[in-house]
């Protein structure tokens, strides 16, 4: 291990053209790491706090950087992350910002890997775990908070579960995306793209299911292996807490009706993955849905858990969900994210590593997914910031 000698922070662009934090970490032996913080649009109420970028950079320079330089080893990831926690002094990174914290945390991990002469997934795996490859979930059709005037359900996700390699899975997702675009064109539906590169057509959810099912079938027939699909429903965004209903345009469903609706979708479309089907505070409803369909699909908590060990513990006690979405910027550091992964695995929950809608070309999550043996990774399907992760997974598979 070698001590950190320099931490530099700067404002750079994310995929939406908004500002985000980039961190450089250098060590006394010449090790170097660079990382960028992503940003979400559909965010959970309990996520760590993302500060305005200039404010986050200024606060981190004042509070965190002096504690890291010449006192902390880049190869000691938990030491780096504990220092960031201590410098911030809050539970939610509201002092220095989770955007500064996660950028520094990931950059330090890369610097540590550079010093050790290891790829990042092996460096993280040495501390944590990891030797298998995740199935990429590709965002094909989307709406919700990611695209105006499109579907109420936020994401329709291709899942090439039968792919014999990461490379073939990546290209299968791209083919499903292309097939969906062709089907929409055949139906005379003009389609722009949402934040994550998914098609954002002005169609209702039922038609989106038809297009998705046909696109998956077309590509499945071409590639010769099984492709299924899943959903991110972003239930907290659909839920009207005042009325106590899930609002789909002019149609509303109470909680029991929402559970029935999701269970019917799982049965009808053989869904392998359903993320945030219910409100972020409704552990009881998550538990009821999990009891009904958890033996057939992953019921994944994103806003429900926000990569937070305490919220995951509550979910485990309630038997709510059987999977957790893991986003390092939701909790602020790699160590905190891995703690959530470890607790999930110990209790039979599957971790799914995920990007955000406001992304960068940073590829840390591809390495994190491999290092933690995650069965799935959400990266989107198209767009430079999305394909950066997918191409990195292909490289990892080839060189592992």
Q: Which residue has the tokens 């999930």?
A: 344
Q: Which of 22, 47, 50, 196 is catalytic?
A: 196
Q: Has 228 been annotated as catalytic?
A: no
The answer to whether the beta carbons of residues 166 and 393 sit under 8 Å apart is: yes
Cα distances (angstroms) measured from residue 310 to each of 189, 307, 340, 344: 45, 9, 9, 11
Which of 36, 327, 378, 389 is catalytic? The answer is: 327
d(CA 276, CA 306): 11
| DSSP assignment string, 243-295 | TTEEEETTEEE-HHHHHHHHHHHHHHHT-SEEE--S-TT-HHHHHHHHHHHTT
pTM for the whole thing? 0.95
327 is catalytic: yes
Domain coordinates in residue numbering, the chain:
4-117, 135-399
What is the assigned CATH class of domain 135-399?
alpha beta
pLDDT tens across the length of the chain (400 residues): 689 999 999 999 999 999 999 999 999 999 999 999 998 766 667 899 999 999 999 999 999 999 999 899 999 999 999 999 999 999 999 999 999 999 999 999 999 999 999 999 999 987 655 567 899 999 999 987 656 678 999 999 999 999 999 999 999 999 999 999 999 999 999 888 887 889 999 999 999 999 999 999 999 999 999 999 999 999 999 999 999 999 999 999 999 999 999 999 999 999 999 999 999 999 999 999 999 999 999 999 999 999 999 999 999 999 999 999 999 999 999 999 999 999 999 999 999 999 998 999 999 999 999 999 999 999 988 888 999 999 999 999 998 7
* Domain 4-117: CATH class, spelled out: alpha beta
- Phi, psi of 309, rounded to the nearest 5 degrees: -60, -40
């Amino acid at each position: 291990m070698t001590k950190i000698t320099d931490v530099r922070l700067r404002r750079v662009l994310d995929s939406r053209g908004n500002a985000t934090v980039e961190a450089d970490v250098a060590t006394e032996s010449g090790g170097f790491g660079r990382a960028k913080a992503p940003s979400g649009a559909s965010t959970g109420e309990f996520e760590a706090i993302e500060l305005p970028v200039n404010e986050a950079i200024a606060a981190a320079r004042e509070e965190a950087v002096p504690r890291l330089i010449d006192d902390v080893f880049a190869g000691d990831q938990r030491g780096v992350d504990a220092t960031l926690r201590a410098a911030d002094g809050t539970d939610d990174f509201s002092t220095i910002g989770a955007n500064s914290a996660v950028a520094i945390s990931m950059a330090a991990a890369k610097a540590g890997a550079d010093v050790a002469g290891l790829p990042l997934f092996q460096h993280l795996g040495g501390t944590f775990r990891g030797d298998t490859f995740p199935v990429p979930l590709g965002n094909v059709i989307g709406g919700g908070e990611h695209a105006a005037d499109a579907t109420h359900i936020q994401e329709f996700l291709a899942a090439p579960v039968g792919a014999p390699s990461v490379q073939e899975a990546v290209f299968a997702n791209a083919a499903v995306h292309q097939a969906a675009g062709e089907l929409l064109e055949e139906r005379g539906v003009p389609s722009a793209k949402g934040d994550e590169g998914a098609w954002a057509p002005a169609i209702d959810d039922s038609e989106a299911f038809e297009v998705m099912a046909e696109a998956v079938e077309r590509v499945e027939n071409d590639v010769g292996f099984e492709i299924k699909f899943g959903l991110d429903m972003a239930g907290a965004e659909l839920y009207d807490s005042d009325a106590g209903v899930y609002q789909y345009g002019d149609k509303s469903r109470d909680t029991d009706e929402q559970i029935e609706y999701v269970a019917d979708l799982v049965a009808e479309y053989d869904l392998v993955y359903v993320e945030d089907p219910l409100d972020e505070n409704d552990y009881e409803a998550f538990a009821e849905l999990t009891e009904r369909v958890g033996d057939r699909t992953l019921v994944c908590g994103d806003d429900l858990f926000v990569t937070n060990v305490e919220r995951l513990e509550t979910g485990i006690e309630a038997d709510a969900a059987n999977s957790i979405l893991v986003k390092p910027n939701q909790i602020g550091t790699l160590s905190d994210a891995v703690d959530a992964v470890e607790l999930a695995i110990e209790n039979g929950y599957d971790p799914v590593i995920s990007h955000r809608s406001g992304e960068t070309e940073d590829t840390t999550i591809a390495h994190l997914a491999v290092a933690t043996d995650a069965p799935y990774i959400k990266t989107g399907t198209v767009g430079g910031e999305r394909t950066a992760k997918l191409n990195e997974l292909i490289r990892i598979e080839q060189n592992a």
